[in-house]
Amino acid sequence: RCGNFRIAAPAMVVWTVERGTGRRVLVLGDSHAQHLWPWYDRHSRVSVDFLAASECQPVPRFERQQPGYDCQGYAQRAWQLAQQPAYDTVVVSARWATVGLAGAPYCHRGGDGRCESVTGPRKQALARAELDEALKAVLAAGKNVVVIDSAPEAHTPVARRLERERFWFGQPRLSIDA
């Protein structure tokens, strides 16, 4: 069953697949992480918490330069949560190219607090360095980490679809009509 489904901040979704006490997995990322929810809902034998922000890859110190996004705040919260004792496994899934070489404009917030617009190979190198640092911190906290390189894309925002299906059917159906 799925519980605690809510919008936590603009574009950030938090929900849980509850399977009793014991092991807990954290799935974090953008909408590509949200796409994993149906599998966990149907097959997981452990409890799983999702923290996902559509169109925000969990790259520390990167901020999307468009109104209405707090990608940096989301990434900070996600990686802090990943180090919490409640989780033994962290799954990270995102459309990495969006923050790498393609996608929306991002800036990188350096140690001086300024957000420098970055593009091309420099943007890609900084994104990799930030992810490397975040992943090493989670591994140092004793967690198992799974990074998913890519995921199938749905043309409907998963969180919105789940909310709509709960409204109309009382529970998610997660089927796609021909």
Residue 94: Cβ-neighbour burial (10 angstroms; 0-12, 13-18, 19+): buried
| CA gap 143, 4 in Å, rounded | 24
Res 164: pLDDT: 80
Q: Tell me the whole-structure pTM to 2 decimals.
A: 0.76
The residue behind tokens 């350096």 is 110
| CA gap 163, 123 in Å, rounded | 35
| CA gap 43, 40 in Å, rounded | 5
The angle that helices 71-82 and 120-140 make with each other, rounded to 10 degrees, is 30
Model pLDDT for residues 89-104, shown as the tens digit of each residue: 999 999 887 776 667 8
- Are residues 104 and 65 in contact, defined by beta-carbon separation less than 8 angstroms? yes
Model pLDDT for residues 158-167, shown as the tens digit of each residue: 777 778 888 8
Model pLDDT for residues 12-60, shown as the tens digit of each residue: 667 888 887 788 999 999 888 888 888 888 899 999 999 998 888 899 9
| CA gap 78, 35 in Å, rounded | 17
The residue behind tokens 């989780």 is 87
- Are residues 147 and 135 in contact, defined by beta-carbon separation less than 8 angstroms? yes
Tokens of 73: 């705040």
Res 13: pLDDT: 66
The CA–CA distances, whole Å, from 64 to 59, 96, 108, 132, 174 equal 10, 14, 9, 19, 30
Side-chain half-sphere exposure of 67, counting CA atoms within 13 A? 0
Res 150: pLDDT: 67
The CA–CA distances, whole Å, from 129 to 33, 57, 96, 104, 159 equal 21, 14, 13, 19, 30
Q: List, in order, residues 6 or more apart from 177 with CB less than 8 Å away.
A: none
